[in-house]
Amino acid sequence: MAKHEPEFDVDTGATYGTHKSYATGFILSVVLTLISFYLVSSGALPKADLYITVGVLALIQLFVQLVFFLHLSTHSKASWNLLSFLFTLVMVLIFVLGTLWIMYHLYENMGMNAMSM
Amino acid sequence: MSATPVMNDHHHTHHFDGSKNVFGFWIYIMTDCILFATLFVVYAVLHTHTYGGPHGKELFSLPFVLTETMILLTSSFTYGLAMLSRTIGNKNIVIGWLWLTFFLGVSFLSMEIYEFHNMVVEGHTWATSAFLSAFFTLVSTHGLHVSMGLIWMLTMIFQINKHGITPVTKTKLTCLGLFWHFLDIVWIFVFSVVYLMGAI
């Protein structure tokens, strides 16, 4: 029970975080952005690794901003927010991965070497 | 102890309840995620179809886009500060942070329009190739959202100036906050997928 309990506003049902949580989110986001930028502009890694690293760093930043800026939490009072988010995430993954999968095979079967990923 | 929640419930029936508005707006944002996901994947499929024209690597200036990214990120932070200063009891502090956020948003949008203008002047329009059609559709859909957010922010500044921080204005401010932070997250993916991966 040592975890800090988020305060839910009586008028909006939302939680707003603290100066500390906003500063943490902001600094983490700036650092993650700069790492991505540096890696790409210096070309420090092989191409395939760069794609994966930049993608992973973007996903980490998504998580950071969801927690520190949008205050998405596992708290039971906000469970519908989390549930609708997870549902959306599944939809997005189906759209994105499904489309890439189909189109990659289409290009391959048509002898086009277009998908350079 | 057991009587307290009952008393609270009774009290709140006379009160404006913005929690459903905020949750409803959250659902709208989730649908917007789907919109952006489809535009992203269209871009991912078409980004190599340049029709003999330039690739992203020749068109994009990374330091310029990094500046845009930092400006938008800072505006997300200053919006958070506006939200946190709601409890101080001085509406002018909230309005001050909102103006700062507004001007950061305008700077971001101006840089984006400048970039688009330069590309179009050099003949790289949305009609040039499938790659540029997908690029302009994705990035300007985000830009259009930012424009709407800025108009909304102006109306919030006037409403808070007139009514102060009330349950109603606080609810609207919360929804705009969700919208603004969401747009920052979408931009992180535009920056990573379109600009950074385009430059690899």
CA dist., res. B193 & res. A40, Å (int): 12
Residue A111 is predicted with a pLDDT of 80
Smallest Cα distance from A31 to chain B, Å: 11
Cβ proximity of B48 and B200 under 8 Å = no
B121 vs chain A: nearest CA distance in angstroms? 26
Alpha-carbon gap: A103 to the closest alpha carbon of chain B (Å):
7
| Report field, pTM of the whole predicted structure over 0.80 | yes
Domain range for A31 is 16-71
pLDDT of residue A48: 93
AA identity, residue A39: L
Phi, psi for B148 (deg, rounded to 5): -65, -40
DSSP string covering chain A:
--SPPPPPPTTT------HHHHHHHHHHHHHHHHHHHHHHHHT-S-HHHHHHHHHHHHHHHHHHHHHHTS-----GGGHHHHHHHHHHHHHHHHHHHHHHHHHHHHHHHTT------
Q: Which of B76, B83, B188 sits opposite A62 (nearest CB)?
A: B188
> Which candidate from A19, A65, A92 shows the least CB-CB separation from B84?
A19
C-beta of residue B23 within 8 angstroms of C-beta of residue A80: yes
Residues of chain A contacting residue B41, judged by C-beta atoms under 8 Å apart: 95-96, 99-100
Chain A residues in contact with B86 by the CB 8 A cut-off are 16
State the Cα–Cα distance between residues B108 and B67, nearest whole angstrom. 9
Residue A8 resides in a domain? no
Q: Which residues of chain A have pLDDT under 70?
A: 1-5, 113-117
Same domain, A90 and A67: no
Examine the domain organization and report whether A89 and A48 are in the same domain: no
Residue range A5-29, pLDDT digits in tens: 678 888 998 999 999 999 999 999 9
Task: Judge contact between B126 and B136, C-beta under 8 A.
Answer: yes
The whole-number pLDDT of residue B2 equals: 44
Note whether A83 and A111 are same-domain residues: yes
User: Which residues of chain A does B171 touch, with a Cβ-Cβ cutoff of 8 Å?
Assistant: 11-12
Q: Domains plus CATH for chain B?
A: 26-47+55-199 (1.20.120.80)
Question: How many folded domains does chain A comprise?
Answer: 2
Query: Which of B33, B80, B196 is closest, CB to CB, to A36?
Result: B196
What is the pLDDT, as a whole number, of residue A28?
Answer: 98
pLDDT tens-place values along chain B, 200 residues long: 444 444 445 554 567 899 999 999 999 999 999 999 999 999 999 998 999 889 989 999 999 999 999 999 999 999 999 999 999 889 999 999 999 999 999 999 999 999 999 999 999 999 999 999 999 999 999 999 999 999 999 999 999 999 999 999 999 999 999 999 999 999 999 999 999 999 98
Are the beta carbons of B115 and B64 closer than 8 angstroms? Answer: yes
